[in-house]
C-alpha cells in the first residue's frame, strides 16, 4: 500500500476501497429479478429508487451518501493528536494528524507516487507542491476538499 492509499484510507476509512466494488454488485442482483417480473416494477420502483442512487454515488466516491468531507475528519484527527497541527497548510502536519510517517523519506515516496518532477532535496518547495497535489487527488477520489485548498 502506497503513502497516498494510507492517507486515503485514514481519511475515508478502511472500507472505502471496497465500497465502490461491493455496492454496485448487490443492487444489480435484486434489479434483475424485479425486471423479470412485469407486474412488480411499478410497485417496486419507489422501494428500489433509493438503492440505485446509492451505487451511482458510490461509484463517484467512497461513501454511499456522497463525497467524504475531509475537513471534520482532519479537524478531529488534529484534536485527537493533542498537538498544534495545521493540516490545511502543512503536508507534514496532515500526515502527523493521521498518525502516519511524515519523514522526508515518506514524503519523497509520496512525491514519487504523485509524479513530482521537481527537486526532492528542496523539501520546502516539494512540501507545498505535495499538499496541493494531495488535496486535488483526494478530491478526485471522492473527497470533499475546501475549494481554497485545491486551487
Q: Which residue shows C-alpha cell 476501497?
A: 17
Q: What is the pTM of this model?
A: 0.67
pLDDT at 30: 43
DSSP the chain: --HHHHHHHHHH-TTTTTHHHHHHHHHHHHHHHHHH-SSHHHHHHHHHSHHHHHHHHHHHSSSTTSSEEHHHHHHHHHHHHTS---TTT-HHHHHHHTT---SHHHHHHHHHHTT--S-TT-HHHHHHHHHHHHHHHHHHTTEE--GGGT-
Is the CB of residue 54 less than 8 Å from the CB of residue 47?
no
Is the CB of residue 20 less than 8 Å from the CB of residue 59?
yes
pLDDT tens series, the chain, 151 aa: 899 999 999 999 864 443 333 333 344 444 444 444 444 444 444 444 444 433 333 333 344 568 999 999 999 999 999 999 999 999 999 999 999 999 999 999 999 999 999 999 999 999 999 999 999 999 999 999 999 998 7
Q: Where are the domains of the chain?
A: 3-12+66-149, 19-60
User: How many residues are listed for the chain in this entry?
Assistant: 151
Amino acid at each position: 500500500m502506497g503513502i497516498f492509499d494510507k492517507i486515503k484510507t485514514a481519511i475515508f476509512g478502511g472500507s472505502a476501497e471496497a465500497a465502490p466494488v461491493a455496492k454496485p454488485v448487490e443492487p444489480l442482483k435484486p434489479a434483475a429479478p424485479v425486471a423479470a417480473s412485469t407486474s412488480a416494477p411499478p410497485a417496486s420502483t419507489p422501494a428500489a429508487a433509493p438503492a440505485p442512487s446509492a451505487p451511482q454515488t458510490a461509484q463517484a466516491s467512497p461513501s454511499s451518501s456522497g463525497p467524504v468531507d475531509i475537513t471534520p475528519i482532519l479537524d478531529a484527527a488534529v484534536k485527537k493528536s493533542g498537538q498544534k497541527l495545521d493540516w490545511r497548510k502543512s503536508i507534514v502536519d496532515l500526515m502527523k494528524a493521521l498518525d502516519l510517517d511524515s519523514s522526508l523519506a515518506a514524503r519523497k515516496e509520496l512525491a514519487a507516487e504523485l509524479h513530482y518532477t521537481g527537486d526532492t532535496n528542496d523539501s520546502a518547495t516539494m512540501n507545498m507542491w505535495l499538499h496541493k497535489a494531495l488535496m486535488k487527488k483526494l478530491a478526485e477520489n471522492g473527497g470533499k476538499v475546501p475549494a481554497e485548498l485545491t486551487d
